[in-house]
Amino acid sequence: MKAAVEAIMTVDWSECELVESVAGKVGGRPVVKGTRIPADTILTDEELGATVEETLESFPTLSLDTIRLIRAYGHSHKPMLQP
């Protein structure tokens, strides 16, 4: 059941130019371009209460703008569960 809910709630990153999926890189999961940082991790950080600055501390290779843009994309493309 948990896997089914996670599959429904997954963001479609395919149109985000800051994110790439490469076979053999983090199992083909969507990552921030040029890194091995899963894009979903940036959203999870926020959901757990991390500020943009705190996320930057965790991932110093990213820029504040990249973090903000990935969060914004994720929010605008995150599917909603229907009752």
Per residue in 1-44, pLDDT (tens digit) is 344 334 445 799 999 999 999 999 999 999 999 999 999 999 99
CATH number of the domain enclosing 21: 1.10.10.10
Residue pLDDT, tens place only, 55-75: 999 999 999 999 999 999 999
Count of structural domains within the chain: 1
Residue 24 resides in a domain: yes
Domain extent for 26: 2-77
What does the block give as tokens for 12?
Answer: 């479609």
List all residues 6 or more positions away from 71 whose beta carbon is below 8 Å from its beta carbon. Answer: 42, 43, 46, 52
Domain-located, residue 58: yes
Q: What is the pTM of this model?
A: 0.81
Closest CA to 72 of 13, 24, 21: 13
- Which element (helix H / strand E) includes 20? strand 19-20
The verdict on residue 8 lying in a domain is yes
Which of 65, 55, 61, 76 is closest to 11 using CA atoms? 76
